[in-house]
Structure 1
Amino acid sequence: MKKLSVKIIVASFLIFAVTTIIPRITFMMFKDLPAQDIVQSDIFLLAMALTAILSLTLFMLAMKYMIINRVRTISYATKQIAQGNFDLQVSVKGKDEISSLSADFNQMVHELKANEYLNKEFVRNFSHEFKTPMSAIKGYAELISQGNLSKEEVYEYSNIIAVEASRLSNLSKNMLQISILDSTSIVKIDQEFNVSEQIRSVIQMMQLMWEKKNIELNIDIEEIQMVSNKELTYEIWKNLIDNAIKYTPENEKIDISLKCENKNIIFEITNYGISIPQSDQEHIYDLFYVVEKSRLKSSSGIGLSITKRIVDKLNGKIYIESGNESKTTFKVVLPKTLITS
């Protein structure tokens, strides 16, 4: 039985016990008269009326104290929240259902307040990420439009404009992808494909990037036929491999492995030469969060955030291991709704 129901029942019994005093007093006053005469008397009818009024009044007061006032307080607080006041907290009294509702309400307000801060932080970060390439494009376009540059300068500045335009395009695509992921509750997991071949395709696509930095790739990939969402898994491998190449110094190495284990597929990628502090690991999947911003200006801090969202949508897990050693490992575990070859 619910705690609030118990309170109501107990209050009803107490009210019943209190209000029966009036009829008892009436019978005591006229104890010498026959019971039938007492019941038919006007005084008895008046006593019954007083008993009913007192019972109803006490019951209404009890309901007002136990339920109505508390619900009214939550209703008022809800209206305040709707107006943007996130500093409000509802008093939690007792341990019944309304107390739980009040506690949940306070938790909701706390989360909304945190989200309000995150939304403001998001706007600031997105504005910065958007403004930087736009400023570069505008600045170099104005220099070119003046018409007093050499061919070499025009070529150089045009390349910079192209790079920044590409960066802006990628930012827009990534933000659109995040919006789609956040608004999609269920993703289709019905495509059968060779995930091993998919990963090798990503590695080949990024060949110029890792060859330019003279990075050694150690690849250990099992042949696996997987049933999942082909487009989303491709984004996982692309983001993680791209991230590893970006953060790996020249002449270092990257280890990439894929295997099946306990009805799961396990993808691991380790890049050497740099580790991620524990303080940064806690925020590594936050949108626009970049480790060592001064060292890596080309990163927008979106790739890992997208990767985490995709892994969650596919009912998987992603882990990071980076300690005192100069290396960082990302591990993705996806459920084996798949077929191994």
Structure 2
Amino acid sequence: MKTIYFRVVITFLGIIMISIIFTYIVLRLLFTNYFIFKIQADSLNASRQIVNYLTQNQIQDIHGYIESVAAVSKYKLSLYHGDLTSLNPIPSIQQDDVNKVLHGSIYKHADVVGLPLKIHGETYALFTEFNMDNYLQRYDQVALTAFVVCLIIGSLLIVVASRYLVRPIKMLTKATKKIAAGDYRAQVQVKQKDELGILAGSFNRMVRELRQIEQMRQEFVSNVSHEIQSPITSIRGFSTTLLQEDIPADDRKRYLSIIAAESERLSRLSEDLLKLASLESEHHPFTPESFRLDEQLRRTVIAAEPLWSQKNLDIDLELQEVFVNADEDQLAQVWTNLLTNAIKFTPPGGRISIELTKRDKESTVRMTDNGIGIAEEDVHRIFRRFYKSDKARNRSQGGSGLGLAIVQKIVSLHQGRIDVHSQFNHGTMITVTLPDHER
């Protein structure tokens, strides 16, 4: 009773039955009028033939002739002469009707017609009645038989067709249960091109995306565990070593510095994780305000001076005076992360250029370096969480692998876009485009 198959079948059968009943009523009304018109014409023609025969042959026994004709025909014949006296009176005929026919009028009403008859110097009124009820009863029998046959055949076809229609839904239900159980390999094979086919296609795409999300989740958990476990192992190992009393002072100092560095690394990792989780939540504060983007980029370069001056890098700035309406703190983190990466992977004596332009209600920041670059197969992966290219896995480089993921999320929150063009061993260019927002 609760299955969609049962409901589809019952719904279709109900529609068919209602349609049949409605069709029968309409046809009965239409054909009743048609039959009445046709029967009146046939009755009038038959009455005229009787009148002509009586008149031409001057039949003496009029009543006897009328009775003999009525006995072998499908009509009821009544002959009136001045009053309602008749051998076969018709109940619906009134005196006024008889008088009108006697005065030369033709009577037509439903299945009864009346004609005047003049014979032997007398005027008669001949009324002919067709048995409409029997005729309609036969029509009802034929129509009912046709409708029953139609209902039976239609019901069988609906039962078969409904199984075909419901089959994709059953497949979707089965696949959904698999997904609920954690099996993301479920796919629905539907060849239909209708709405169910579109639904099945959307479901398959959703499953593929869920499978990718699950893989990303597993990778995320694995990467977090790896990133946390490594410094914890170092801290635990060197802490155990420091418990020994005969450690030289220089070694003790070196071990303590390693513990401090690993602790700082853990702190940065937790901060980046909290930052990324906050950005991805719906409750992260977003406070846009108007400020000069070129001045913010200059302050970012100045703040990073100890890093780029240590490697003797050249920093080229080509900044137009541009005002933007954005979250200043969030964008500051974008430029800091991008510039820090550029400095980290640019060899000593290298060059980093930062260009700011505004065109067509868009502000574009282009940061280019001549560093080690990124392999072509790695370019589309650099925004993944914890992703590090092989050349970046040196622990001395630092970093948690979350910086570019945070950058991409902040740019997305500002409805902007970020593009990366890089060539291995020839440098990288990262372009951030921000749309203008109302101030």
**Alignment partners' CA distance in 2, 1:89 and 1:299:** 40
SS at match of 2:227: helix
**Alignment partners' CA distance in 1, 2:196 and 2:419:** 39
Relative to structure 1, is the Cα distance of residues 187 and 39 closer, same or farther in structure 2, using a 3 angstrom cutoff? farther
Instruction: Quote the residue 1:308 is aligned against.
Output: 408
Instruction: Quote the residue 1:5 is aligned against.
Output: none
In structure 2, what residue type is equivalent to 1:333? Answer: T
In structure 2, what residue type is equivalent to 1:323? Answer: Q
Contact 1:225-1:338 within 8 A present in 2 as well: no
Relative to structure 1, is the Cα distance of residues 150 and 59 closer, same or farther in structure 2, using a 3 angstrom cutoff? same
In structure 2, which of residues 278, 303, 323 is the aligned counterpart of residue 205 of structure 1?
303
Relative to structure 1, is the Cα distance of residues 165 and 295 closer, same or farther in structure 2, using a 3 angstrom cutoff? closer
Instruction: Quote the residue 1:298 is aligned against.
Output: 398
**Alignment partners' CA distance in 2, 1:335 and 1:305:** 20
Instruction: Quote the residue 1:116 is aligned against.
Output: 214
In structure 2, what residue type is equivalent to 1:193? Answer: F
Contact 1:316-1:332 within 8 A present in 2 as well: yes
**Alignment partners' CA distance in 1, 2:394 and 2:231:** 18
**Alignment partners' CA distance in 2, 1:124 and 1:166:** 21
- Give the CA deviation at 1:130: 1.0
Instruction: Quote the residue 1:103 is aligned against.
Output: 201
- Structure 2, unmatched stretches of 5+, are 1-8, 25-132
Structural mapping, 1:1-341, within 5 Å: 35-39=135-139, 48-49=147-148, 51-66=150-165, 68-184=166-282, 188=286, 190-291=288-389, 292-295=391-394, 297-323=397-423, 326-337=426-437
**Alignment partners' CA distance in 2, 1:169 and 1:159:** 15
More off after superposition, 50-59 vs 266-275? 50-59
Contact 1:187-1:313 within 8 A present in 2 as well: no
- Give the CA deviation at 1:233: 0.6
TM-score (norm 1): 0.82
Contact 1:186-1:313 within 8 A present in 2 as well: no
**Alignment partners' CA distance in 2, 1:233 and 1:324:** 28
**Alignment partners' CA distance in 1, 2:330 and 2:341:** 17
Relative to structure 1, is the Cα distance of residues 228 and 100 closer, same or farther in structure 2, using a 3 angstrom cutoff? same
Contact 1:259-1:266 within 8 A present in 2 as well: yes
Moved over 6 A (4+): none
- Give the CA deviation at 1:300: 2.6
**Alignment partners' CA distance in 2, 1:338 and 1:145:** 61
Deviations, residues 167-189 of structure 1 (Å, cap 9, x unaligned): 11111111112112222388735
Q: Which has the larger radius of gyration?
A: 2
More off after superposition, 55-64 vs 138-147? 55-64
Relative to structure 1, is the Cα distance of residues 294 and 187 closer, same or farther in structure 2, using a 3 angstrom cutoff? closer
- Give the CA deviation at 1:48: 4.4
- Give the CA deviation at 1:101: 0.4
Contact 1:92-1:102 within 8 A present in 2 as well: yes
SS at match of 2:190: coil
Relative to structure 1, is the Cα distance of residues 65 and 186 closer, same or farther in structure 2, using a 3 angstrom cutoff? farther
Relative to structure 1, is the Cα distance of residues 177 and 324 closer, same or farther in structure 2, using a 3 angstrom cutoff? closer
Query: CA RMSD of the aligned region, Å?
Result: 3.0
Contact 1:319-1:330 within 8 A present in 2 as well: yes
Contact 2:288-2:325 within 8 A present in 1 as well: yes
Contact 1:226-1:338 within 8 A present in 2 as well: no
Contact 1:319-1:332 within 8 A present in 2 as well: yes
The structure with higher relative contact order (CA 8 Å, sep 6+) is 1
TM-score (norm 2): 0.65
In structure 2, what residue type is equivalent to 1:181? Answer: L
Contact 1:290-1:299 within 8 A present in 2 as well: no
Relative to structure 1, is the Cα distance of residues 127 and 324 closer, same or farther in structure 2, using a 3 angstrom cutoff? closer
SS at match of 1:91: coil
In structure 1, what residue type is equivalent to 2:368? Answer: T
- Give the CA deviation at 1:47: 6.1
**Alignment partners' CA distance in 2, 1:191 and 1:277:** 38
Contact 1:254-1:270 within 8 A present in 2 as well: yes
In structure 1, what residue type is equivalent to 2:158? Answer: F
- Give the CA deviation at 1:166: 1.1
